Amino acid sequence: MTWRRLCELTELRRKGVMRVDMDDGEYLVALIGERVYVADAWCTHQKADLTMGILDGTRVKCPLHQAVFELVDGSVVEGPSGEPPSSIRSLRTYLVKLEDDQVYADL
């Protein structure tokens, strides 16, 4: 496992959802209830920024063509523009750990 620090939990509590840009990728980090979820920031359809989407429970709706992803496992709940979920790839998600007010993910 390669745990890498993404952000402070305090900052995430203020924002709820944020994008963290690392050298090798961009990540969506969301605090939902007391759990933190980390996934790739870009929609698998046409790379819209999912941190600009709408959160509904543990699901995020893409701002561009409204595909819906489940942040628990990255699965596609609704495809883009009414297409079936199988029309696009699922979202990559990452294991998370919290330590000393820091959010880490196994990237």
The string of DSSP codes covering 27-41 is: EEEEEETTEEEEEES
Contact 66, 80 (CB under 8 A): yes
Measured distance CA(95)–CA(55) in Å, rounded: 19
Stretch that binds ligand FES, among 1-9, 23-31, 38-46, 70-78 (CB under 6 A): 38-46
Q: Which is nearer to ligand FES, 18 or 67 (CB)?
A: 67
Cα→Cα distances 37→44, 56, 84, 87, Å? 17, 13, 25, 24
Residue 29 contacts ligand FES per CB under 6 A = no
Query: For ligand FES, which is the closer residue by CB, 4 or 65?
Result: 65
Residue 69 near ligand FES by CB under 6 A: no
Nearest approach, Cβ of residue 40 and ligand FES (Å): 12
Does residue 46 interact with ligand FES by CB under 6 A?
A: yes
- The number of angstroms, rounded, from the C-alpha of 105 to the middle of its chain's C-alpha atoms is 12
Q: Which of 7, 12, 29, 43 binds ligand FES (CB under 6 A)?
A: 43
How is residue 92 annotated by DSSP? P
Residues in contact with ligand FES by CB under 6 A are 43, 45-46, 48, 62, 64-65, 67, 80
